[in-house]
Amino acid sequence: MAIISGEELLRGGIERGVELMAVAANTVLKFGHPKIRMSAVGPEEFDELSGYCEGVAEVSPLFNRDGRSFVDLAQQDTRALLIGARRKSVYNYDCGACGFRTCEELNKAEEVESIINGPCCHFVVYDVHMAANAAASVAHYMGLHCRVFQTIGAAAPACEFIEDVDFCIGVAVSYQSRNPFFDRHKYWSEEEWAQKFAEEFPSFTRRFMGAVE
């Protein structure tokens, strides 16, 4: 056989890994309706995601931080599986978790356009997150570094990287020797982190999100 370089092996591995993550996301137990939509993005798209996040940085300090980190992720050949869905209910469970008494009321409600369009059926949200968990599990077993990003999911539909969804989650993966997803504190100093959250989320205790998360 032809000799394949280590770099080619790694790139081929991560591409196949994302494909298998998509399979797991599609087959994982959900609530019985094939509603999730998927696509995958790579380094070029991470550059565009960074630009979008910087553009909405005033909306949330998390976008400010992650927009900076996406620039570095683009240079590290990072990939992400995007998983999304439409917000309306197809179940007619009338559970009330969305804040409306019936699914019909939810589906007739005016759409709220924000970083994530709502209101959303909770069972649809569960489906997307179960699919994301399945994808992350496959990434873990394949030895890929992995992190689930709300910011990638919010930016991707705006950048038209995934179609016909109201909300989305991004499952990012990397084959680098060092995990690039859990040192984002370097994009903010501890003082900047505290200031941003004091301005934007004065009541948020940050019990699980310290400056070195």
- Residue 3 in tokens: 């000799």
pLDDT score of 209: 47
Domain map (residue ranges) of the chain? 29-182
pLDDT score of 213: 42
The conformation of residue 86, written as its DSSP 8-state character, comes to: -
Report d(CA 170, CA 208) in Å as an integer: 20
Torsion-angle region of 171 (φ positive above 0: left; ψ -120 to 50: alpha; else: beta): beta
Report d(CA 210, CA 175) in Å as an integer: 26
- 147 forms beta bridges with 172
Q: What is the pLDDT along the chain (213 residues), one digit of tens a residue?
A: 789 999 999 999 999 999 999 999 999 877 766 689 999 999 999 999 999 998 887 777 788 888 888 999 999 999 999 999 999 998 889 999 999 999 999 999 999 888 888 999 999 999 999 999 999 999 999 999 999 999 999 999 999 999 999 999 999 999 999 999 987 666 666 777 677 667 766 666 655 444 444
Determine which helix (DSSP H) or strand (DSSP E) holds 106, and give its type and residue range: helix 103-108
Q: pTM for this one?
A: 0.86
pLDDT score of 26: 94
The CATH number of the domain covering residues in 29-182: 3.40.109
Only one residue has tokens 């991470």, namely: 46
Q: What is the DSSP string of 149-196?
A: EHHHHHHHHHTTSS-S-SEEEEEEEE-SSS-SSS-GGGGS-HHHHHHH
- 148 forms beta bridges with 171
pLDDT score of 47: 94
